[in-house]
Amino acid sequence: MIQNLLKLIDAHDTWRAKTLNLIPSENITSKYVRNALSSDLGHRYSLWEPAEVPVGADNFYSGTKFIDEIYGIGVELSNKLFSAEYSDLRALSGHIADLAALISLTKPGDIIYSLDTRYGGYPGLMPYGLPKMLSLRVRSIPYNVEEANIDIESLEEEIRRYGGRLIILGPSFIPFINPIREICRLAREYGLYFVYDGSHVLGLIAGRAYPNPLKEGADAVVGSTHKTFPGPQGGLIATSKNVMDNFKRNIVMRIVDNPHYNRIAALAISMAEMIEYGETYASQVVRNARRLAKALYEFGVPVLYSEKKFTETHQVILGIKDGYNLLVRRLEKANIIVDYGKRLGTCEITRLGFVENEMDKIAELIFRVYNGEKTEGIKKEVVELVSDRKVEYTFD
Ligand SMILES: Cc1ncc(COP(=O)(O)O)c(C=O)c1O
């Protein structure tokens, strides 16, 4: 059994190193980050805070002096990177960071606004997801399908009519920059909290290729640390002063007992990387997405929003109507990995050093699969294209 498991892990690593990964919710970490993930920190506990949970001493555990210093550095880096007053690195994932926001800022029966999955919203924030557990009433954030963005006027009308406690915007499909400033204005004017679930664009926010909601007046940014943000899988909470006490009261023993300190150390390292290299990385991600979209479009692969220069983020949205599932399977055979959501992402390939002119080659390979060419030959070209790459934008 053990031999089989080891073999499978090795097989996965070997195979995926030979693939071109265009899943927009995935990324690849640096050596320092990987080392931190496999360090002794991953075996340890440290429990300090909050006053509501009496631990009997500063920390319930001993042996934590380095752990606690690492956590402090991580928080400092996060505050700096996201211009936050308070950061919490303990949420185990983006989903759990959303949960933290909901339990910190709402009470049962409250009306909240979130984006429907029909418009690219995150299923976890749909009425059947986290809000159901917390007895929240969800109204859908109005969306302009043609513009592929939030319909601010209609949102204002909704809020005027129905009031509410919280706007939590969490797009999983996000080709264009959301009108963050306008939503902040509405939230302020009508007395709602505004949390931006930036799971998808956290790395773009950190790299200033996307507006920082906290700077625009949002109460909190939450999200995954492994999509455009090239860190370990996990969650992040960054808040303004306004709501930091609400969050502080709701972390320990509500969304987490023991945080995973190997992940937190790894996250701190990736934050340091983003402070140093984030801007170059993020702008390259967006340039690559635009170029990939344009090249695909010119090859004749249906891509949405040509009239709007395709994208302002890491995502390229495909307009393929029929046979997409079959295409995904054929792409996989050619070692090109995508999800079934008709979206492509350029975060991981950017980390691997790909730049604009290589997008043309990637578009050609995708087109050839789309066009029905046998995958065997294409696969060889993909393997050649991805081999001997190293992870860029790191201290390695
Ligand atoms: C907008 C959004 N929020 C939250 C999540 C959940 O993140 P995680 O997988 O880190 O729990 C996702 C996942 O894809 C997402 O797209």
Longest dimension (CA), the chain: 67
Ligand 1 atom nearest to CA at 25: 14
Give the C-alpha separation, 14 to 246, whole Å. 45
Nearest CA to ligand 1 atom 8: 94
Q: What is the DSSP string of 15-61?
A: HHTTSEE--TT-----HHHHHHHTSGGGG-------TTS--SSS-SS
Domain ranges of the chain: 84-257, 277-386
- Of the CA atoms within 13 Å of residue 39, those in its CB half-sphere come to 18
What is the chain's pLDDT, residue by residue, as a tens digit (396 residues)? 999 999 999 999 999 999 999 999 999 999 999 999 999 999 999 998 666 667 777 898 999 999 999 999 999 999 999 999 999 999 999 999 999 999 999 999 999 999 999 999 999 999 999 999 999 999 999 999 999 999 999 999 999 999 999 999 999 999 999 999 999 999 999 999 999 999 999 999 999 999 999 999 999 999 999 999 999 999 999 999 999 999 999 999 999 999 999 999 999 999 999 999 999 999 999 999 999 999 999 999 999 999 999 999 999 999 999 999 999 999 999 999 999 999 999 999 999 999 999 999 999 999 999 999 999 999 999 999 999 999 999 998
Structure-token pair, residue 266: 């790894």
From 200, 224, 226, 256, mutation site for ligand 1 pocket: most ligand atoms within 8 A of C-beta: 224
Q: Return the amino acid letter for 384.
A: E
Q: Which residues contact 111 (CB under 8 A, 6 or more apart)?
A: 136, 137, 138, 139, 162, 163, 164, 165
Pocket test for ligand 1, best of 102, 126, 199 (most atoms within 8 A of CB): 199
Calculate how far, in angstroms, residue 269's C-alpha sits from the geometric centre of ligand 1. Answer: 21
Q: Could you tell me the pTM of the whole model?
A: 0.98
- Strand, helix or coil at 116? coil
CATH of domain 277-386: 3.90.1150.10
Residues 96, 252: contact at Cβ < 8 Å? Answer: no
In 3D, which of 240, 223, 229 has the Cα closest to residue 266?
Answer: 229
Q: How remote is the CA of residue 288 from the centroid of ligand 1, in Å?
A: 23
Ligand 1 interacting residues, C-beta cut-off 6 A: 25, 93-95, 98, 122, 124, 170-172, 197, 199-200, 224, 235
Separation of 98 CA from ligand 1 center, angstroms? Answer: 9
Supply φ then ψ for residue 196, to 5 degrees. Answer: -100, 120
CA–centroid distance, residue 122 to ligand 1 (Å) = 7
Fold of 84-257: Aspartate Aminotransferase; domain 2 (3.40.640)
